[in-house]
A and B are shown apart, each in its own frame.
Chain A
Amino acid sequence: MERNLMKGNEALAEAAIRAGCKCFFGYPITPQTELAAYMAKRMHKAGGVFLQAESEIAAINMVLGAASTGVRAMTSSSSPGVSLKSEGVSYIAGSDLPAVIINVQRGGPGLGGIQPSQADYWQATKALGHGDFQLIVYAPASVQEMVDFVVKAFDSADKYRMPVMILADGLLGQMMEPVSFPEINPDAYDKSSWAANGHGFKREHHIINSLYLKPDELEKSVVDRYKKYDIIKETETDAELYLTEDCDILLCAFGATARVVKSAVNDARAQGIKAGLFRPKTLWPFPVKEINEAAKNAKVLLSVEMSMGQMVDDIKLAINCSKPVEFYGRTGGVIPTPVEVLEQIKKIGGTL
């Protein structure tokens, strides 16, 4: 298979085009702008639409419009820009539209910084907009996974008619790695029963809408959506378990941080400490079965994040608080080093 050296942001874009993404609407923001720039160069040749919107808000609503007509549509941004998109994401969820949203995270809150961060975990998994809804959230940890998860994201979005997020970070977006592109046949999901692309006098008119003025009707629409979420929780979780079979200390990390943690786990093993790594690839749904499998022999868990510990609660809930969950993190754009993580492992390991 052909392998190309590509920057994470560009790999996201190329994968989207290959996955049949027909339009990209975006707005410049560091550290994800290369994605838009790549789209600007490539999209029209691929027969699609690239448009730089006047704002993040407009961009996500352009996605809503395109997705309403049954077209694969995507937008991308970084943390502050994703906050602006949250209104549109809520409408997309409430209208049962498929769409892919990429967040190449940077430090926050506010304007924050432009260095990598994972401090939008809560936003992505709990509260990306008003109302009762969820997104499927994929967390790639390599440029190759950027490619693979984008393809998956478009399929999941179409399959479940819902917004799907790729939660990357500035480190993954900016780094270069060899990637190969799988043969992609954009699944032909039949959207003819709902797409608003002109009825051609052949069917009833279609309405794309998230307004239900009668409470019982709104409740029903939300409850139906949650039935769909139950299926997703059952079938779509994904995680990597690394050296977890016999581990005493189970480290938990996602995205770029998991790469650092993997090094620290290897270093710990070299020193005779039984460490393992649980890396969720889906942050929502959280891989509950997988973490329980990984933690079955562990005495303590250690979540390592580029935030103040936003994943810790999900871990505690997933294991039913059956074991202590420690936390080590750096935030504001600071990337934890393997040395720092190893120190934490030793500190906790010493008490075992």
Chain B
Amino acid sequence: MAKMTVITERCKGCALCTTACPKKIVELQKEKRNKKGYFYAVCTDESQCIGCAMCAMMCPDCAIVVEK
């Protein structure tokens, strides 16, 4: 069991996390924007998350918390 949570209001939609995920389950969705107007990142398949925290390590805004 592992889980990544995006702090959506901190996300600036840079997409660097999406390149870091080894499971390719982090994406920049294109429907919802946060208050600053950024499309924020989401985990598309929580069941596949291994809690490696690479997405969080790549995030310049400390906008991802990882639990395991």
The answer to A–B direct touch (Cβ < 8 A) is: no
